[in-house]
Amino acid sequence: MHRTTAPVALQQTGTVITSKGERKPEAVYVVGGTGYVKEGVGGWKKGALSDPDIANEVEDPLAELDTFAGYAKSATVARTGTGVRLRVSASGWQLSAARNRPALERAAREVQPTLDQLRRAGVTATDSRITLKDFSETWDLDDEAQGYRVASHRYAFTFLVPFPSGDITVSQEVRADNRGVFGGHVTLPSGV
């Protein structure tokens, strides 16, 4: 992932791994408040960052850190060998209540497309019956003489969706590591 601040732009590439082990390359760009997403060999999707389909694909560490600041008072703080670790965790919440908890809003938003797909397939569980099995968000900050630098960010959740034959497990994990300052430019690829 590369991010610039003047102008604000983001470029990220990665691999989406499905529960069946399928791997799809993913490319995401954010320029001028508009997101551009391409998964696999499909075409580009374009939309505002307020669109959940686009927002779910964007992993902007500065925006996420700003959001985290809103609920960081819930974080545990621990010294590590090289800096500080901030961690927020939760479990046991019903999805209906999680939607209104600042730390869990993103997880609730990101699970929604999967729930929509499950409901189209006949799963009738309401939000009040879907349970957050576990959630964790971890920020590792390097201890530098001039302040802390984000070294890594981990974000994971698991929801249990009741179904007559047993719970359906919906999980997601996102990992990002900071490898230093990006001094280049972010530009959209041709054809977008």
- The pLDDT of residue 185 is 81
> Can you tell me which residue has the tokens 């007559």?
164
User: How far is the C-alpha of 172 from the C-alpha of 133, rounded, in Å?
Assistant: 12
Question: Is 180 a residue whose pLDDT tops 80?
Answer: no
- The pLDDT of residue 40 is 85
Nearby residues of 65 by Cβ (< 8 Å), 6 or more positions away: 139, 150
- The pLDDT of residue 73 is 87
Q: Which of 17, 2, 13 is nearest to 37 (CA)?
A: 13
Question: Is 35 a residue whose pLDDT tops 80?
Answer: yes
- The pLDDT of residue 146 is 64
Of residues 134 and 80, more confidently modeled = 134
